Amino acid sequence: MDTSLEPMRGIRPGMSGRRILPELLSLVVREGVMERARALSVFGVDELCEALHRELGYDFSRGNRRRMIRLLVDLLVECGWLEVARSGDRWSCRRDVTPLPGKPPADTGEGDGQVDFLRRCLRIVPGYLRGEESPIAFDAENLRVWEEFLGCEEFQACRSVLLDRMASNSDASASLLDLCHGPGWGIERAMERWPEARITAIDFTDAFTEIAEGRAKRAGSRNASRGLPSPPVEWFGPSDWKGFGHPLPFPKDSFGAILFSCGDPYIRPGVREAVYADLRRVLAPGGMLGILTRGYPDPQRLHVAMYWLRVSALIHDFTESVCAGWHGFPDVGESQEMFTRLGFRGAWNPGGTMSVMGSAVWILKKG
Protein backbone atom coordinates (compact mmCIF):
# COMPACT_ATOMS: atom_id res chain seq x y z
CA MET A 1 0.00 0.00 0.00
CA ASP A 2 1.26 3.51 -0.80
CA THR A 3 1.54 5.01 2.69
CA SER A 4 2.30 8.48 1.30
CA LEU A 5 -1.38 8.70 0.33
CA GLU A 6 -2.49 8.01 3.90
CA PRO A 7 -3.29 11.69 4.65
CA MET A 8 -5.91 11.60 1.87
CA ARG A 9 -7.90 8.85 3.54
CA GLY A 10 -11.06 10.22 5.10
CA ILE A 11 -11.23 13.14 2.64
CA ARG A 12 -14.45 12.69 0.69
CA PRO A 13 -13.84 13.81 -2.91
CA GLY A 14 -15.98 16.78 -3.85
CA MET A 15 -17.37 17.40 -0.36
CA SER A 16 -17.27 21.17 -0.82
CA GLY A 17 -19.33 20.83 -4.01
CA ARG A 18 -21.84 18.55 -2.31
CA ARG A 19 -22.48 21.16 0.36
CA ILE A 20 -22.46 24.29 -1.82
CA LEU A 21 -24.32 23.06 -4.93
CA PRO A 22 -27.88 23.41 -3.53
CA GLU A 23 -27.10 26.98 -2.45
CA LEU A 24 -25.62 27.91 -5.82
CA LEU A 25 -28.56 26.44 -7.75
CA SER A 26 -30.94 28.31 -5.47
CA LEU A 27 -29.08 31.53 -6.27
CA VAL A 28 -29.31 30.84 -10.01
CA VAL A 29 -33.09 30.52 -9.70
CA ARG A 30 -33.52 33.54 -7.41
CA GLU A 31 -31.41 35.72 -9.70
CA GLY A 32 -33.56 34.79 -12.69
CA VAL A 33 -30.74 33.28 -14.74
CA MET A 34 -32.71 30.13 -15.56
CA GLU A 35 -35.75 32.18 -16.51
CA ARG A 36 -33.69 34.16 -19.03
CA ALA A 37 -32.12 30.98 -20.38
CA ARG A 38 -35.54 29.41 -20.95
CA ALA A 39 -36.75 32.53 -22.74
CA LEU A 40 -33.84 32.26 -25.19
CA SER A 41 -34.72 28.67 -26.10
CA VAL A 42 -31.35 27.91 -27.76
CA PHE A 43 -28.45 30.19 -26.88
CA GLY A 44 -24.70 30.74 -26.82
CA VAL A 45 -22.72 32.43 -24.06
CA ASP A 46 -22.80 35.82 -25.83
CA GLU A 47 -26.58 35.73 -26.19
CA LEU A 48 -27.08 34.72 -22.57
CA CYS A 49 -24.71 37.45 -21.37
CA GLU A 50 -26.56 40.02 -23.47
CA ALA A 51 -29.89 39.01 -21.90
CA LEU A 52 -28.41 39.03 -18.39
CA HIS A 53 -26.92 42.46 -18.99
CA ARG A 54 -30.13 43.87 -20.41
CA GLU A 55 -32.57 42.37 -17.91
CA LEU A 56 -30.55 41.80 -14.72
CA GLY A 57 -27.96 44.56 -14.98
CA TYR A 58 -24.94 42.26 -15.12
CA ASP A 59 -21.80 44.14 -16.21
CA PHE A 60 -19.57 42.23 -18.64
CA SER A 61 -17.50 45.20 -19.74
CA ARG A 62 -14.46 44.19 -17.68
CA GLY A 63 -12.97 41.50 -15.52
CA ASN A 64 -13.79 37.80 -15.56
CA ARG A 65 -17.59 38.04 -15.37
CA ARG A 66 -18.23 36.67 -18.86
CA ARG A 67 -16.06 33.66 -18.00
CA MET A 68 -18.19 33.16 -14.89
CA ILE A 69 -21.28 32.73 -17.06
CA ARG A 70 -19.50 30.10 -19.13
CA LEU A 71 -18.56 28.34 -15.87
CA LEU A 72 -22.19 28.49 -14.80
CA VAL A 73 -23.34 27.01 -18.11
CA ASP A 74 -20.88 24.10 -17.76
CA LEU A 75 -22.07 23.52 -14.19
CA LEU A 76 -25.74 23.50 -15.23
CA VAL A 77 -24.92 20.98 -17.97
CA GLU A 78 -23.24 18.75 -15.35
CA CYS A 79 -26.34 19.02 -13.15
CA GLY A 80 -28.71 18.20 -16.01
CA TRP A 81 -30.42 21.59 -16.06
CA LEU A 82 -29.02 22.45 -19.51
CA GLU A 83 -28.17 20.29 -22.51
CA VAL A 84 -25.96 20.78 -25.54
CA ALA A 85 -27.91 21.86 -28.61
CA ARG A 86 -26.52 21.11 -32.09
CA SER A 87 -22.89 21.94 -31.28
CA GLY A 88 -20.70 22.31 -28.23
CA ASP A 89 -21.13 26.07 -28.01
CA ARG A 90 -24.94 26.32 -27.86
CA TRP A 91 -27.34 25.07 -25.20
CA SER A 92 -30.98 24.80 -24.26
CA CYS A 93 -32.86 24.23 -21.01
CA ARG A 94 -34.10 20.74 -20.32
CA ARG A 95 -37.86 20.56 -19.93
CA ASP A 96 -37.66 18.22 -17.00
CA VAL A 97 -34.84 19.19 -14.67
CA THR A 98 -32.74 16.13 -13.87
CA PRO A 99 -32.50 15.36 -10.15
CA LEU A 100 -29.05 15.69 -8.64
CA PRO A 101 -27.07 12.39 -8.67
CA GLY A 102 -27.12 11.22 -5.09
CA LYS A 103 -28.51 13.07 -2.12
CA PRO A 104 -26.32 15.97 -0.99
CA PRO A 105 -25.37 15.50 2.65
CA ALA A 106 -27.26 17.44 5.27
CA ASP A 107 -25.32 20.48 6.46
CA THR A 108 -24.41 19.75 10.06
CA GLY A 109 -23.29 23.30 10.64
CA GLU A 110 -19.74 22.14 11.37
CA GLY A 111 -17.18 24.68 10.27
CA ASP A 112 -14.96 23.94 7.29
CA GLY A 113 -12.59 26.56 5.98
CA GLN A 114 -13.18 25.68 2.34
CA VAL A 115 -16.96 25.56 2.53
CA ASP A 116 -17.13 28.75 4.61
CA PHE A 117 -14.91 30.54 2.07
CA LEU A 118 -16.97 29.43 -0.93
CA ARG A 119 -20.16 30.52 0.85
CA ARG A 120 -18.62 33.91 1.55
CA CYS A 121 -17.74 34.26 -2.14
CA LEU A 122 -21.20 33.08 -3.21
CA ARG A 123 -22.82 35.89 -1.21
CA ILE A 124 -20.69 38.38 -3.13
CA VAL A 125 -21.58 36.97 -6.59
CA PRO A 126 -24.79 38.98 -7.33
CA GLY A 127 -23.18 42.34 -6.62
CA TYR A 128 -19.95 41.37 -8.34
CA LEU A 129 -21.79 40.36 -11.53
CA ARG A 130 -23.42 43.79 -11.48
CA GLY A 131 -20.04 45.50 -11.51
CA GLU A 132 -19.10 45.85 -7.84
CA GLU A 133 -15.44 45.50 -6.94
CA SER A 134 -14.35 42.43 -5.03
CA PRO A 135 -13.81 42.94 -1.30
CA ILE A 136 -11.54 39.85 -1.13
CA ALA A 137 -7.90 40.55 -1.95
CA PHE A 138 -4.54 39.36 -0.63
CA ASP A 139 -4.31 42.01 2.05
CA ALA A 140 -4.30 42.38 5.82
CA GLU A 141 -8.05 43.00 5.90
CA ASN A 142 -8.68 39.49 4.56
CA LEU A 143 -5.93 37.73 6.49
CA ARG A 144 -8.25 35.52 8.53
CA VAL A 145 -10.37 34.68 5.50
CA TRP A 146 -7.34 33.30 3.64
CA GLU A 147 -5.87 31.63 6.71
CA GLU A 148 -9.02 29.57 7.36
CA PHE A 149 -9.56 28.75 3.68
CA LEU A 150 -5.98 27.76 2.83
CA GLY A 151 -5.71 25.79 6.06
CA CYS A 152 -8.77 23.63 5.40
CA GLU A 153 -8.52 19.87 5.93
CA GLU A 154 -8.47 18.96 2.25
CA PHE A 155 -5.66 21.36 1.34
CA GLN A 156 -3.62 20.28 4.37
CA ALA A 157 -3.94 16.62 3.38
CA CYS A 158 -2.86 17.42 -0.19
CA ARG A 159 0.17 19.37 1.05
CA SER A 160 1.18 16.38 3.17
CA VAL A 161 1.04 14.10 0.12
CA LEU A 162 3.09 16.55 -1.94
CA LEU A 163 5.76 16.98 0.71
CA ASP A 164 5.97 13.29 1.56
CA ARG A 165 6.55 12.35 -2.04
CA MET A 166 9.01 15.14 -2.73
CA ALA A 167 10.97 14.33 0.43
CA SER A 168 11.12 10.63 -0.39
CA ASN A 169 12.87 11.34 -3.67
CA SER A 170 15.23 14.15 -2.61
CA ASP A 171 18.42 14.52 -0.66
CA ALA A 172 17.94 14.91 3.10
CA SER A 173 19.58 18.35 3.02
CA ALA A 174 17.51 19.57 0.10
CA SER A 175 16.49 23.21 -0.14
CA LEU A 176 12.78 23.93 -0.55
CA LEU A 177 11.12 27.04 -1.99
CA ASP A 178 7.58 27.76 -0.79
CA LEU A 179 6.19 29.92 -3.58
CA CYS A 180 3.41 32.28 -2.43
CA HIS A 181 3.70 31.16 1.19
CA GLY A 182 0.56 32.98 2.35
CA PRO A 183 -0.35 32.32 6.01
CA GLY A 184 2.42 29.72 6.26
CA TRP A 185 0.47 26.46 6.18
CA GLY A 186 2.88 24.98 3.63
CA ILE A 187 5.93 26.06 5.65
CA GLU A 188 4.52 24.47 8.79
CA ARG A 189 3.77 21.23 6.98
CA ALA A 190 7.21 21.21 5.35
CA MET A 191 8.97 21.69 8.67
CA GLU A 192 6.97 18.82 10.17
CA ARG A 193 7.31 16.39 7.27
CA TRP A 194 10.78 17.39 6.04
CA PRO A 195 12.67 18.84 9.03
CA GLU A 196 16.08 18.69 7.36
CA ALA A 197 15.08 20.90 4.44
CA ARG A 198 16.40 24.44 4.21
CA ILE A 199 13.26 26.47 3.47
CA THR A 200 12.99 29.72 1.52
CA ALA A 201 9.59 31.45 1.56
CA ILE A 202 8.48 34.12 -0.90
CA ASP A 203 5.28 36.06 -1.55
CA PHE A 204 4.28 39.15 -3.53
CA THR A 205 2.53 40.61 -0.46
CA ASP A 206 3.72 41.13 3.08
CA ALA A 207 0.18 40.87 4.50
CA PHE A 208 0.80 37.31 5.68
CA THR A 209 4.44 37.53 6.76
CA GLU A 210 3.88 37.98 10.49
CA ILE A 211 1.44 35.10 10.85
CA ALA A 212 3.57 32.86 8.60
CA GLU A 213 6.68 33.63 10.66
CA GLY A 214 4.77 32.76 13.83
CA ARG A 215 3.66 29.46 12.35
CA ALA A 216 7.24 28.64 11.30
CA LYS A 217 8.56 29.55 14.75
CA ARG A 218 6.08 27.23 16.47
CA ALA A 219 6.91 24.39 14.05
CA GLY A 220 10.60 24.91 14.76
CA SER A 221 9.97 24.72 18.50
CA ARG A 222 8.07 21.46 18.08
CA ASN A 223 10.93 20.01 16.05
CA ALA A 224 13.46 21.08 18.67
CA SER A 225 11.43 19.43 21.43
CA ARG A 226 11.59 16.17 19.44
CA GLY A 227 15.30 16.46 18.83
CA LEU A 228 14.85 17.22 15.14
CA PRO A 229 16.75 19.81 13.11
CA SER A 230 15.05 23.08 12.27
CA PRO A 231 17.03 25.29 9.86
CA PRO A 232 15.85 28.91 9.91
CA VAL A 233 13.44 29.98 7.18
CA GLU A 234 14.72 32.63 4.76
CA TRP A 235 12.01 35.16 3.88
CA PHE A 236 11.49 37.17 0.68
CA GLY A 237 8.68 39.67 0.11
CA PRO A 238 7.29 42.26 -2.32
CA SER A 239 10.51 44.30 -2.26
CA ASP A 240 12.25 41.25 -3.76
CA TRP A 241 9.53 39.93 -6.08
CA LYS A 242 6.56 41.74 -7.62
CA GLY A 243 4.56 38.62 -8.44
CA PHE A 244 3.74 36.38 -11.41
CA GLY A 245 5.29 37.61 -14.62
CA HIS A 246 8.43 38.85 -12.84
CA PRO A 247 11.52 36.62 -12.53
CA LEU A 248 12.18 35.07 -9.14
CA PRO A 249 15.17 36.66 -7.35
CA PHE A 250 17.19 33.43 -7.23
CA PRO A 251 20.05 32.05 -9.34
CA LYS A 252 19.72 29.05 -11.62
CA ASP A 253 19.54 25.63 -9.91
CA SER A 254 18.91 27.13 -6.45
CA PHE A 255 16.41 24.63 -5.03
CA GLY A 256 15.98 20.90 -4.78
CA ALA A 257 12.20 21.27 -4.47
CA ILE A 258 9.43 23.84 -4.92
CA LEU A 259 6.04 23.77 -3.21
CA PHE A 260 3.39 25.78 -5.06
CA SER A 261 0.10 25.55 -3.23
CA CYS A 262 -3.18 27.14 -4.43
CA GLY A 263 -1.53 29.90 -6.46
CA ASP A 264 -1.74 28.63 -10.05
CA PRO A 265 -5.24 30.06 -10.81
CA TYR A 266 -3.92 33.55 -10.02
CA ILE A 267 -1.38 33.44 -12.86
CA ARG A 268 -2.44 35.44 -15.92
CA PRO A 269 -2.87 33.03 -18.88
CA GLY A 270 -0.49 35.08 -21.04
CA VAL A 271 2.44 34.62 -18.65
CA ARG A 272 1.70 31.13 -17.30
CA GLU A 273 4.30 29.32 -19.40
CA ALA A 274 6.93 31.95 -18.56
CA VAL A 275 6.18 31.54 -14.84
CA TYR A 276 6.75 27.79 -14.98
CA ALA A 277 9.84 28.23 -17.15
CA ASP A 278 11.26 30.43 -14.40
CA LEU A 279 10.38 27.80 -11.80
CA ARG A 280 12.29 25.25 -13.85
CA ARG A 281 15.24 27.67 -14.03
CA VAL A 282 15.58 27.90 -10.24
CA LEU A 283 15.13 24.14 -9.76
CA ALA A 284 18.31 22.06 -9.58
CA PRO A 285 18.65 19.17 -12.08
CA GLY A 286 16.33 16.40 -10.97
CA GLY A 287 14.52 18.84 -8.65
CA MET A 288 10.89 18.33 -7.69
CA LEU A 289 7.94 20.66 -8.33
CA GLY A 290 4.81 19.99 -6.27
CA ILE A 291 1.64 21.85 -7.29
CA LEU A 292 -1.71 21.94 -5.51
CA THR A 293 -4.53 23.24 -7.70
CA ARG A 294 -7.58 21.88 -9.51
CA GLY A 295 -8.14 21.01 -13.16
CA TYR A 296 -10.98 22.41 -15.26
CA PRO A 297 -13.38 19.52 -16.02
CA ASP A 298 -12.78 18.36 -19.59
CA PRO A 299 -15.81 17.41 -21.73
CA GLN A 300 -14.31 13.97 -22.53
CA ARG A 301 -13.89 13.17 -18.81
CA LEU A 302 -10.35 11.92 -19.44
CA HIS A 303 -8.70 13.99 -16.74
CA VAL A 304 -11.54 14.89 -14.37
CA ALA A 305 -13.98 11.99 -14.43
CA MET A 306 -15.77 11.80 -11.07
CA TYR A 307 -19.07 13.71 -10.99
CA TRP A 308 -18.56 15.42 -7.63
CA LEU A 309 -14.97 16.36 -8.46
CA ARG A 310 -16.21 18.00 -11.66
CA VAL A 311 -19.00 19.84 -9.87
CA SER A 312 -16.71 20.93 -7.04
CA ALA A 313 -14.10 22.28 -9.47
CA LEU A 314 -16.73 24.30 -11.36
CA ILE A 315 -18.27 25.65 -8.15
CA HIS A 316 -14.87 26.54 -6.75
CA ASP A 317 -13.83 28.28 -9.99
CA PHE A 318 -17.14 30.17 -10.24
CA THR A 319 -17.22 31.38 -6.63
CA GLU A 320 -13.54 32.29 -6.22
CA SER A 321 -13.84 34.32 -9.42
CA VAL A 322 -15.03 37.19 -7.20
CA CYS A 323 -11.54 37.38 -5.63
CA ALA A 324 -9.10 39.98 -6.93
CA GLY A 325 -6.68 38.48 -9.46
CA TRP A 326 -8.45 35.15 -10.05
CA HIS A 327 -8.00 33.71 -13.58
CA GLY A 328 -9.38 30.21 -13.07
CA PHE A 329 -8.40 26.56 -13.18
CA PRO A 330 -6.47 25.50 -16.29
CA ASP A 331 -7.21 22.61 -18.61
CA VAL A 332 -5.32 19.51 -17.44
CA GLY A 333 -4.36 18.39 -20.94
CA GLU A 334 -3.00 21.83 -21.83
CA SER A 335 -1.01 21.88 -18.60
CA GLN A 336 0.48 18.48 -19.41
CA GLU A 337 1.57 19.71 -22.84
CA MET A 338 3.07 22.87 -21.35
CA PHE A 339 5.03 20.99 -18.67
CA THR A 340 6.36 18.59 -21.31
CA ARG A 341 7.49 21.48 -23.53
CA LEU A 342 9.30 23.01 -20.57
CA GLY A 343 11.16 19.81 -19.78
CA PHE A 344 9.24 18.52 -16.77
CA ARG A 345 8.27 14.88 -16.42
CA GLY A 346 6.25 12.83 -13.99
CA ALA A 347 8.25 11.94 -10.91
CA TRP A 348 7.09 8.35 -10.35
CA ASN A 349 5.42 6.92 -13.42
CA PRO A 350 7.39 4.69 -15.83
CA GLY A 351 8.93 6.78 -18.57
CA GLY A 352 8.21 9.96 -16.63
CA THR A 353 4.63 10.28 -17.89
CA MET A 354 2.57 12.98 -16.25
CA SER A 355 0.68 12.02 -13.11
CA VAL A 356 -2.12 14.05 -11.56
CA MET A 357 -3.86 12.74 -8.46
CA GLY A 358 -7.53 13.68 -8.42
CA SER A 359 -6.86 16.44 -10.97
CA ALA A 360 -5.41 18.46 -8.08
CA VAL A 361 -1.95 17.22 -7.03
CA TRP A 362 0.93 17.46 -9.50
CA ILE A 363 4.37 16.06 -8.67
CA LEU A 364 6.88 16.80 -11.41
CA LYS A 365 10.64 16.47 -11.86
CA LYS A 366 13.00 18.70 -13.79
CA GLY A 367 14.17 16.39 -16.56
Q: pLDDT tens digits for 248-265?
A: 999 999 999 999 999 999
Which CATH number is 19's domain given?
1.10.10
What pLDDT is recorded for position 13?
Answer: 67
Asked whether residue 227 carries a pLDDT value surpassing 70, the answer given is yes
Give domain status of residue 147, yes or no: no
What pLDDT is recorded for position 166?
Answer: 86
Give domain status of residue 140, yes or no: no
Q: What's the distance, CA 199 to chain centroid?
A: 22
Q: Do 223 and 351 fall within a single domain?
A: yes
Q: Do 117 and 259 fall within a single domain?
A: no
Q: Do 119 and 160 fall within a single domain?
A: no
Give domain status of residue 106, yes or no: no
Give domain status of residue 139, yes or no: no
User: Position 120: which residue type?
Assistant: R
What span, in angstroms and rounded, lies between the C-alpha atoms of 152 and 154? 6
Q: Do 167 and 95 fall within a single domain?
A: no
Host domain of residue 43: 3-100+111-129
Q: Do 118 and 186 fall within a single domain?
A: no
For 93, 100, 346, the CA distances from 290, given in Å and listed in that order, are 41, 34, 11
* Least trusted range by pLDDT, from 93-107, 124-138, 153-167, 307-321: 93-107
Q: Do 325 and 210 fall within a single domain?
A: yes
Pair 128, 65: CB distance under 8 Å: yes
State pLDDT tens for residues 76-90: 999 999 999 876 689
What pLDDT is recorded for position 119?
Answer: 97
Over range 19-31, report the average pLDDT: 95
State pLDDT tens for residues 132-173: 999 999 999 999 999 999 999 989 999 998 898 888 776 656
Q: Do 120 and 231 fall within a single domain?
A: no
Give domain status of residue 105, yes or no: no
Which CATH number is 352's domain given?
3.40.50.150
Q: Do 356 and 300 fall within a single domain?
A: yes
Higher pLDDT: 111 or 362? It is 362
* Least trusted range by pLDDT, from 108-112, 142-146, 356-360: 108-112
What pLDDT is recorded for position 3?
Answer: 45
Over range 229-244, report the average pLDDT: 96
Give domain status of residue 301, yes or no: yes
What pLDDT is recorded for position 102?
Answer: 47
- The count of structural domains within the chain is 2
Q: Do 96 and 157 fall within a single domain?
A: no
For 290, 354, 356, the CA distances from 2, given in Å and listed in that order, are 18, 18, 15
Asked whether residue 103 carries a pLDDT value surpassing 60, the answer given is no
Q: Which helix (H) or strand (E) holds 194?
A: none
Q: Do 74 and 194 fall within a single domain?
A: no
Give domain status of residue 90, yes or no: yes
Higher pLDDT: 182 or 106? It is 182
Asked whether residue 11 carries a pLDDT value surpassing 60, the answer given is no
Give domain status of residue 138, yes or no: no
Asked whether residue 104 carries a pLDDT value surpassing 70, the answer given is no
Nearest to 355 by CA among 366, 343, 367, 364: 364
Which residues sit opposite 150 in a β-bridge?
A: none
The helix/strand/coil state of 260 is strand
What span, in angstroms and rounded, lies between the C-alpha atoms of 323 and 271? 19
Q: Do 115 and 163 fall within a single domain?
A: no
State pLDDT tens for residues 321-354: 999 999 999 999 999 999 999 999 886 555 545 4
Q: Do 43 and 115 fall within a single domain?
A: yes
What pLDDT is recorded for position 356?
Answer: 53
